[in-house]
Structure 1
Amino acid sequence: MLQCFCSLQPTPASITKFISDQPHLSLLENNCTTMKDLKKLHAQLIKTGLVNDIIAASRVLAFSSSPAGDINYAYLVFSRIKNPNLFTWNTIIRGFSQSSNPEIAISLLIYMLVDSSVQPGRLTYPSVFKAYAQLGLACDGKQLHGRVIKLGLDCDLFIRNTIIYMYANCSLLSEAWRMFDEELELDIVAWNSMVLGLAKCGEIDESRRLFNKMVSRNTVSWNTMISGYVRNGKFLEALELFQEMQEDDVRPSEFTMVSLLNACACLGAITQGKWIHDYVLNHNFELNGFVVTAIIDMYCKCGNVEEALKVFRTSPKERLSCWNAMILGLATNGCEEEAIQLFSKLESLSLKPDNVSFIGVLMACNHAGMVDKAKDYFSLMAEKYQIKPTIKHYSCMVDVLGNAGLLEEAEQLIRSMPIKEDAIIWGSLLSACRKHGNVEMAKRAAKHVIELDPAESSGYVLMSNVYAATRQFEEAIKQRLSMKEKQLEKEPGCSLIEVNGEVHEFVSGGRLHPQAKEIYSVLNDLKLMLQ
């Protein structure tokens, strides 16, 4: 029997020798690819008593706590290990830091410090800093950073990288900058973290400056910068950077493709979007749920529902996000009946609709004027699927009722909500009041919009339009004057269209387009034809 070490992890040589001497562990090393396989082998280890050996238990723990495993099963394995050593502690903490419950990794560290004879090592701390980053709790992570400094480990490159990542990911840029010094020899992980954290805070130009200064870049570097551009609404810059990425002969990943497809969706650039779709197919990218969802969403937002449906029908549909993208796409492109039919098909499968699915089907009911059906779906959320309606679901219902002229019912729904209303939902009611000419209710709705979001101009604009529609022009002017006094400006509308592979941007009242004169001439001709 091999000796159990409390403060030293097994050496690679000892693990290799032990595995070669045990057939069950050889199988674990070579043939275990699923939790089903692992459980069978684990049962054999229990029967033979080999599970009591720290190395055997560590191998089971390592697989079950990996992304391919089951972290809950891993914890059961860990809890049955007598005198766990540093290797097993690090394994379970790392597993939880990568799971959907990273807070447990922090709890395990605290338990390790208070009740365990084993003290954390240099490989323990990075996982915990990542857990703090995942939870957005860098302020709490500062305490652990202080402990690391006291132990003299803050110069350890691996630890330093994860501390930078934690601060940058949580938008604490001043703390991240203190750890990050461009003059030091930092590795690519630290640079990627800083590029990500400036991009997340909207400092996209500073992010690009750091990106340009990087001595070496990997796929993560390019992905981070491209996704940063998309997150900050710089879609053309994202596409241009992808061209540079190709020129540098860097192979993109699925994450690159998803970001670029999102950029094309926002631009309405279907030619570029179709090219990226072809690129995905020609370069044998895995058509996983994220990629398929992005492709469907791109075609729908570019108005090509037929192509979106073709992708949906011919691709794997294990992920609910693919269904949701297609339901939403149909609903927003005038295919309400098809959206409702697809939702019904989803209900008949093993997949269960979620809150996004219901937003899609409620939007479809709204556009189709199906008030009763919308009410049925709204009730179905809680009664059958135990989904609590969010403010977005209530907003959809207010739109449904408001467009149908059921203004009193819509107002009552807002007032009876178990959650706090926002300016958007009152704005929806205000728009409905404008449509149906209910001035008194519009006043109440506008009051709420202005109180909830004083910096937003929509309440004044919509109220002015309500007065104008009912020929109360003096009151309409007062609303516009109130806006001027408060120095509120209505953000001009903007639209994008692709013509011959080139994206054109149009701003309401804008004259900067090179063909503005010809465009306005055609618009004037159209106005004359419509009179």
Structure 2
Amino acid sequence: MPPCFCSFNPPSTSISKFISDQPFLSMLETNCHTIKDLKKIHAHIIKTGLAKDAVAASRVLAFCATGPDRDLVYAFSVFRQIEEPNLFIWNTVIRGFSQSSDPHVAISLFVEMLVDSRVQPEKLTYPSVFKAYTQLGLAEDGAQLHGRIVKLGLEFDPFIRNSIIHMYANCGLLGNAWKLFDEDRDSDVVAWNSMVMGLAKCGEVEESWRLFCKIPCRNEVSWNTMISGYVRNGKWIEALELFYEMQEMGIKPSEFTLVSVLNACAKLGALEQGKWIHDYIKKNGVELNVIVITAIIDMYCKSGDVETARQVFVTTPWKGLSSWNSMMLGLATNGFEDDVFELFLELESSNLRPDSVSFIAVLTASNHSGRVDKAREYFKLMTETYSIEPTMKHYGCMVDVLGRAGLIEDAAELVKSMPMKPDAIIWGSLLSACSSHCLRGFQESSAGKDDDEEEADGETTGM
């Protein structure tokens, strides 16, 4: 059992030597792969008093804040137990939250660091904060921090400058991004990529292409950014052509590139090209994560090859909810309504919880099959059991299925009850149903009138 430590001040030897001298810190470096492992080691670190040491605390924090199996709730609790966080600890926890689904926490921690901490931010702190503003789409607020950067004389630091360019470009403030980016000077590839992405995102795809062609040294991200930009702007053929050019140059595509070109194939219904990309994924051992699997299923469904999509879905052991939704939507749009209902039951029995997209799939299937009973059942299940607020698409499916069944009054009442203003699609569905129903009624009335006239004519002739 290692001795108990109340406080640690590593000697002049290196930190690595200090870590190697402590059994539990060494385990943290070599035998810790999951949060479960970390918690066990951390418990021993606390018992020995080693947790009070800044080096030990920073290593624990780094694993749970920025590691591959991170747990930011646990990271935050670890951070709060550190009495005097140093600059590395502040940067670590801010960076962890800036890369999470809660980037606002990174900004709150940065403000706390400015106001309450003896340690002040340095140049490695700021890129994470700008990343948080980017994720939140708050470039205007980030511009205030940009002003602080200028006052501190840090605007020429490449990491900070690139993070600011990325923030402005990603949030659509292209004028601000252009002021920092100068294509005729020594901008690095990160800045070029940010501008290519920002322009494509704002619909300026030709200007995005012009910049892409001028990048002095394109990397994998450059190609991926331009291909995804083409897909985003509906230039699917151009995306595929650029992908094949990428192949000819021997540049290995990332999973993001492959997802983009699979999406292009799906939009074009280009089954053969999609199959080639699927084969490429299998031959080159590309990781079949949820995003890739969903893109493959979506491509096959939208290209009309539902059976292959189903085979991919069934043989994949690590399906995410998006994969289930893609399969159900594909079945619904290809006329396999009963299969959608069965798959939804399987989803409910799994460890996943249906979301709003799942219910769009089953409502679409109910609409296509004319099953008013099913549509009402799923709509009630969505709102009452799963507490999911219906969107315009959900209401659109309900109005359509009720209208097609001739239940005009029910459809009209549903439109009145909507919490949002009906859009053109909702009104179009309702008006189409009214028109169709009135026409049907007129035809039936006319047919009945003709029968009466024929009967009267027959009686007259028989007199």
Do both proteins adopt the same fold according to a TM-score greater than 0.5, normalized to the shorter chain? yes
Identical columns (%): 66
2:286 is paired with a residue whose SS is coil
Match of 1:393 in 2: 394
- The residue that corresponds to 2:456 in the other structure is none
Q: Deviations over 1:73-130 (max 9, x none)?
A: 1000000001101110000000000000101111111111111111111011100000
1-structure distance, mates of 2:287, 2:365: 31
Q: Does 1:334 align with 2:335?
A: yes
**Structure 1: any 5+ residue segments left out of the alignment?**
5-9, 440-469, 471-531
Q: CA–CA distance in 2 between the matches of 1:184 and 1:82?
A: 46
Partner of 2:277: 276
- AA in 2 matched with 1:33: H
> Which amino acid in 1 is paired with 2:241?
E
User: How far apart, in 2, do the equivalents of 1:88 and 1:437 lie?
Assistant: 71
Residue 8 of structure 2 contacts residue 50 of structure 2 at CA under 8 Å; is this kept in 1? Answer: no
With normalisation by structure 2, the TM-score equals: 0.91
**Rounded Cα–Cα distance in structure 2 between residues aligned with 1:193 and 1:433:** 50
Match of 2:86 in 1: 85
- What's the CA shift for 1:23? 1.2
CA drift of 1:315 comes to 1.2
Moved over 3 A (4+): 1-4
**Match of 2:51, as an amino acid?**
V
CA distance in 1, matches of 2:331, 2:284: 29
Structure 2 equivalent of residue 113 of structure 1: 114
In 1, Cα distance between equivalents of 2:433 and 2:260: 36
Aligned to 2:42: 42
Whichever residue aligns with residue 386 of structure 2, its letter is Y
Aligned to 1:18: 18
How far 1:438 moved relative to its partner? Answer: 6.8
For residues 271 and 18 of structure 1, the distance between their equivalents in structure 2, rounded to whole angstroms, comes to 58
Q: Does 1:220 align with 2:216?
A: no
The answer for the alignment partner of 1:167 in structure 2 is 168
Counterpart residue number, 1:232? 233
CA deviation after TM superposition for structure 1 residue 2, in Å: 4.2
| Map of 2:199 onto structure 1 | 198
Q: CA RMSD in A?
A: 1.8
Amino acid at match of 2:387: Q
Partner of 1:52: 52
State how far apart, in whole Å, the 1-side matches of 2:47 and 2:171 are: 47
After TM superposition, list the pairs within 5 Å mapping 1:40-439 onto structure 2: 40-66=40-66, 67-437=68-438
Residue 188 of structure 1, CA deviation: 1.2
- Secondary structure at the counterpart of residue 172 of structure 2: coil
Report the Cα offset of residue 400 of structure 1: 1.1
Q: What one-letter code is carried by the residue in structure 1 that aligns with 2:312? A: V
- 1:325-371: per-residue Cα shift (whole Å, max 9, x none)? 00000000000000110001111111111110000000001111110
Which residue of structure 1 lines up, in the alignment, with residue 443 of structure 2? Answer: none
Amino acid at match of 2:22: Q
Shift, 1:384, TM fit:
1.5
Q: Post-superposition shift, 1:184?
A: 2.1
Q: Distance in 1 between matches of 2:99 and 2:358?
A: 27
CA-CA distance at 1:418 after TM superposition:
2.1
**Structure 2: 5+ residue stretches without partners:** 1-6, 441-445, 447-463
By how many angstroms is 1:427 displaced? 2.0
Given that 1:132 and 1:141 are in contact with CA atoms closer than 8 Å, whether structure 2 keeps it comes out as: yes
In structure 1, give the amino acid aligned to 2:14: S
- Of residues 183-192 and 415-424 in structure 1, the stretch that sits farther from structure 2 once superposed is 415-424
Q: In structure 2, how many angstroms separate the alpha carbons of the residues matched to 1:205 and 1:418?
A: 40
Answer whether contact 2:372 2:402 (CA < 8 A) is retained.
yes
CA contact (8 A) 1:288 1:316 kept: no
SS of residue paired to 2:14: helix
Q: What's the offset of the Cα at 1:408?
A: 1.3
For the residues of structure 2 that align with 1:50 and 1:423, how far apart are their CA atoms? 65
Aligned residue in 2 for 1:517: none
Give 1:3 shift.
3.7
Give the TM-score normalised by structure 1.
0.80
CA contact 1:165–1:193 (8 Å) conserved in 2: yes
Separation in 2, partners of 1:20, 1:214: 45
CA distance in 2, matches of 1:386, 1:157: 47
The whole-number CA distance in structure 1 between the counterparts of 2:116 and 2:424 is: 50
Local SS of the residue matching 2:342: helix
* Aligned-partner Cα distance in 1 for 2:41–2:387: 38
- Aligned position for 1:473: none
SS at the partner of 2:213?
helix
